[in-house]
Amino acid sequence: MRDRYSRKTLIWEVLLLLLAIAFCLPLYLLVSISLKPPQELFTSPLTFPTDLHFENFSRAWQARNSGGMASAMISSVIITVGSVATLIVIGSLSAYAIARRPGKLSATLYTLFVIGIIVPFQLTVLPLFVLFRSLGLIGTYLGMIILWVGILTPLTVFLYTGFVRTIPRDYEEAARMDGAGLVRTYVQVVFPLLRPITGTVAILTGLFIWNDFFASLIFLGGSGRETLPVAIYSFVGEYLTQWNLVFAAVVIALAPLLVFFLIAQKQMIRGFSGGIRG
Amino acid sequence: MASIHLKNVGKRYPDGNRAVIDLNLDIADGDFMVLVGPSGCGKTTALRMVAGLEEISEGEIHLGGELINDVEPGKRDIAMVFQNYALYPHMSVFENIAFPLLSQGVPRAERRDRVERTAAVLGISDMLDRKPRTLSGGQRQRVAMGRAIVREPQAFLMDEPLSNLDAKLRVQMRSEISRIQAELGITTIYVTHDQVEAMTMGTRIAVMRKGVLQQEGSPEVIYGQPANLFVAAFIGSPGMNFVTAELSRRGDDLVLGIGPQELVLPPKTLAQRPALLEHESGSIVIGIRPEHLSLPPTDNSAKLKATVERSEMLGAERLLHVSISAKPVSADEIMEAAEEVSAAAPAMLQDGSKGDEVALIARIDPSIVPQPGSTVELGVGLDRLHFFDLESGRAVL
């Protein structure tokens, strides 16, 4: 048998390894700077820290900017979890109806949702701000959840609709034959089948909301309910910026997301590639 | 358990396409009715109308004497086994089988008891905790059966449940399904395009084509007395041989002219099929099952000279491909039925039967090995001949 590990394979492997290192570099810089003392930051920014200053994390956590990291973490969790959960419920139900009840109404709604993905959020900020202010939703968690659900429902519906269309109708028909009503069919049969795309939606929208700075600054600014990106930004001063603390705060902000990604990555990849295994 | 009656049932789609036309079927309590026909013949649509998954455009469907046209599928007390089983992938085997009971609100203890009993009947008791994706095709098939059986419904509907299995497993599951159905005695409608499945499993068979019921009856009747060219060509493997013949009268005898050869029909043929008289001095299609062509000819059979093309050794029998000089039949019905056997079959039929040559297949003793190119005399069982009208394709009786 011919040796399949050829010189070409080796070159490919080296290239891919270099590419992987290039992707890991920002993460390395983030972690290494977050562990450095301020002096070392400017003298040797790219090297690994000589002493590991773990106290940077506690200092960043205890800093009192914008209500503090703990409060910002709570805000981020409430807004992200609330929005993502609502998006999953509304998005999956809407997509199910669109995919399973073909007709002019479904087609029109689907087109509207797709247009919703295209419209840039920044265009809608001003009228939304005025509307939210008149409704008393500025500076509230509910307001932020409504905002994110509104902004991300089109993308969610788009993703779910594509996936629902790949699910054979046999499952629903079998459930109907088995005497299950519409609600039982959806809750016990259809929704569990959507798990891969639900993972994808949760990660995509969760990342977007968790990392957002712009909307949080505008709709939550000064309320004491700012999210993590806004709280981190408050480390950046006009005359003095403690970059090591900024990086430590970013690492703290990143941690929950990383854990979630590690748990859900398998579902997410299946959601992207489509289909379910019988 | 209940009888099922379909009365003038039709399915018309919004684009005007008619999938099922004026279907009348009486399925008695405990019957195993097989709907068979080529793809697109309307058999699955008919089944889905009985299930309630497809709206009925015309006619009435009765289950146990009760009109069920507008009854929800889940309330019809009918269980269905789907072609790809439709097992819920996120549920264990136990949960899959228990699902219909859960929907019916059966208490937990009874649910467990009934699922375990059903699993024991199907021999899947040790798989109850497994997920469907860890099961083989045959095991999945059993779970799907279990989900249908556990409800103890009035009727079973099965939509080509064996089509995803390999040939060996299909044979095994065929007898398994028949056994379970016979044991439970539940009225069953079974859809398949495989005529072997239809013949081996059904207590009754309904052959469909282009949405129209062609013939309904016991496997023996369908095989032995096909109502038309399509049924004759579709049922049987290898299929019936067809050849165009000239029917004439010589004295008191009826004579079939097959190319340059002649077969004198016994007097009782006319008594059995008086309608043959209408075709006197005209063309008619005759059909001969491969097993009714013998080599060497039996003492009392008529003889037909043929040229050997090739032979296929199948172990217990040999299929002898011969050609005779005669006018071939290329009716749509035969081509469509042949296509169902294999996509290449119509072309092969036409290849073998071109101009004034007709290809025939005889089922003979495997110890006889005729040489290709040689001329043989085949015995023809005249009392087993089938006659069909050339225009309408209907059997001449």
Using pLDDT thresholds of 50, 70 and 90, give the confidence band for residue B280. Answer: confident
Which residues are within 8 A (CB) of A249 and not within 5 positions of it... i.e. 6 or more apart? Answer: A60, A61, A63, A69, A228, A231, A232, A235
CA–CA min distance A141, chain B (Å): 35
Inter-chain contact B53–A176, Cβ cutoff 8 Å?
yes
- DSSP secondary structure string for all residues of A56-125: HHHHHHH--GGG-HHHHHHHHHHHHHHHHHHHHHHHHHHHHHHHHS-SHHHHHHHHHHHHHHHS-HHHHH
Inter-chain contact B103–A173, Cβ cutoff 8 Å?
no
Query: Would you give the distance in Å from CA A34 to the centre of its chain?
Result: 23
Q: Range with the lowest mean pLDDT among B131-135, B208-212, B220-224, B379-383?
A: B379-383
Using pLDDT thresholds of 50, 70 and 90, give the confidence band for residue A277. Answer: low
Residues of A within 8 A of B103 (CB-CB) are 175, 178-181, 184
Q: Range with the lowest mean pLDDT among A34-38, A169-173, B336-340?
A: B336-340
* Residue from the list B88, B100, B104 with its beta carbon closest to the beta carbon of A189: B88
* Residue from the list A178, A180, A276 with its beta carbon closest to the beta carbon of B89: A276
Residues of B within 8 A of A193 (CB-CB) are 88-90
Which residues sit opposite B327 in a β-bridge?
Answer: B244
- Alpha-carbon distance of B174 to B197, in angstroms, equals 7
What is the pLDDT averaged over residues B166-187? 89
- Alpha-carbon distance of B144 to B166, in angstroms, equals 17
CA–CA min distance B38, chain A (Å): 22
CA–CA min distance A158, chain B (Å): 24
Class level of CATH domain A65-277: mainly alpha
Using pLDDT thresholds of 50, 70 and 90, give the confidence band for residue B392. Answer: confident
pLDDT of B344 > 60? The answer is no
Measured CA angle at B320 (ends B319, B323), to 5 deg: 140
Query: CA of A192: which chain B residue's CA is closest?
Result: B90
Inter-chain contact B51–A171, Cβ cutoff 8 Å?
no
Rounded alpha-carbon distances, angstroms, from residue A197 to A201, B90, B111, B225: 6, 14, 32, 56
Residues of B within 8 A of A176 (CB-CB) are 52-53, 72-74
pLDDT of B336 > 80? The answer is no
Q: Which has the closest alpha carbon to A141: A80, A86, A73?
A: A80
pLDDT of B347 > 70? The answer is no
For chain B, the residues whose C-beta falls within 8 A of a C-beta of chain A are 51-53, 72-75, 78-80, 82-91, 99-100, 103-104, 132-133, 147, 151
- Mean pLDDT, chain B, rounded, equals 89
Q: Where are the domains of chain A?
A: 7-53, 65-277
What value does the CA radius of gyration of chain A take, rounded to a whole number of Å?
23
* Residue from the list A168, A184, A276 with its beta carbon closest to the beta carbon of B103: A184
pLDDT of residue A37: 86
- Rounded percentage of chain A residues whose pLDDT exceeds 90: 53
pLDDT of B337 > 80? The answer is no
- Alpha-carbon distance of B191 to B8, in angstroms, equals 19
pLDDT of A98 > 90? The answer is yes
- DSSP secondary structure string for all residues of A111-160: HHHHHHHHS-HHHHHHHHHHHHHHHT-TT-HHHHHHHHHHHHHHHHHHHH
- Best of A100, A170, A178, A270 to disrupt the B interface (most B CBs within 10 Å) is A178
pLDDT in tens, A7-47: 899 999 999 999 999 999 998 999 998 888 888 878 887 88
Using pLDDT thresholds of 50, 70 and 90, give the confidence band for residue B73. Answer: very high
Inter-chain contact B88–A174, Cβ cutoff 8 Å?
yes
Using pLDDT thresholds of 50, 70 and 90, give the confidence band for residue B246. Answer: very high
- Mean pLDDT, chain A, rounded, equals 88
Inter-chain contact B86–A173, Cβ cutoff 8 Å?
yes
- Rounded percentage of chain B residues whose pLDDT exceeds 70: 94
pLDDT in tens, B206-235: 999 999 999 999 999 999 999 999 999 899
CA–CA min distance A196, chain B (Å): 12
pLDDT of residue A42: 80
Q: How many CB atoms lie within 10 A of CB B349?
A: 23
Residue B312 burial (C-beta neighbours within 10 Å; 0-12, 13-18, 19+): exposed
CA atoms within 13 A on the CB side of A178: 35
CA–CA min distance B209, chain A (Å): 25
Query: Would you give the distance in Å from CA B184 to the centre of its chain?
Result: 23
Rounded alpha-carbon distances, angstroms, from residue A21 to A26, A258, B8: 9, 18, 72
CA atoms within 13 A on the CB side of B150: 34
Q: Could you tell me which residue, B265 or B332, shows the higher pLDDT?
A: B265
- Alpha-carbon distance of B62 to B75, in angstroms, equals 14
Inter-chain contact B80–A177, Cβ cutoff 8 Å?
yes
B92, two tokens: 């264990």
pLDDT of B277 > 90? The answer is no
pLDDT of residue A273: 63
CA–CA min distance A199, chain B (Å): 15
pLDDT of B196 > 60? The answer is yes
Residues of B within 8 A of A189 (CB-CB) are 88
Rounded alpha-carbon distances, angstroms, from residue A227 to A120, A184, A203, A204: 22, 37, 18, 18
Inter-chain contact A178–B99, Cβ cutoff 8 Å?
yes
pLDDT in tens, B19-66: 999 999 999 999 999 999 988 899 999 999 999 999 999 999 999 999
ipTM of the complex: 0.82
What value does the CA radius of gyration of chain B take, rounded to a whole number of Å?
24
Query: CA of B104: which chain A residue's CA is closest?
Result: A179
Interface A–B counts its CB contacts (< 8 A) at 73
B386, two tokens: 């089938």
* Residue from the list B85, B87, B100 with its beta carbon closest to the beta carbon of A179: B100
Q: Which has the closest alpha carbon to A202: A142, A241, A156, A137?
A: A156
CA atoms within 13 A on the CB side of B331: 26
Inter-chain contact A180–B82, Cβ cutoff 8 Å?
no
The DSSP symbol for B322 reads E
Q: Quick check: bond before A49 cis, omega within 30?
A: no
* Residue from the list A174, A180, A192 with its beta carbon closest to the beta carbon of B86: A174
Residues of A within 8 A of B72 (CB-CB) are 176
pLDDT of residue A236: 77
Residue B244 belongs to what H/E stretch? strand B241-250
Residues of A within 8 A of B139 (CB-CB) are none
Task: Please give the span between the terminal C-alpha atoms of chain B, in angstroms, as a whole number.
Answer: 37
pLDDT of A1 > 60? The answer is no
Inter-chain contact B74–A180, Cβ cutoff 8 Å?
yes
CA–CA min distance A144, chain B (Å): 34
For chain A, the residues whose C-beta falls within 8 A of a C-beta of chain B are 168, 170-171, 173-181, 184, 188-189, 192-193, 195, 276-278
Query: CA of B97: which chain A residue's CA is closest?
Result: A178
Rounded alpha-carbon distances, angstroms, from residue B274 to A108, B148, B231, B279: 65, 49, 21, 10
- Best of A104, A177, A188 to disrupt the B interface (most B CBs within 10 Å) is A177
Rounded alpha-carbon distances, angstroms, from residue B50 to A44, B73, B148, B216: 78, 9, 15, 17
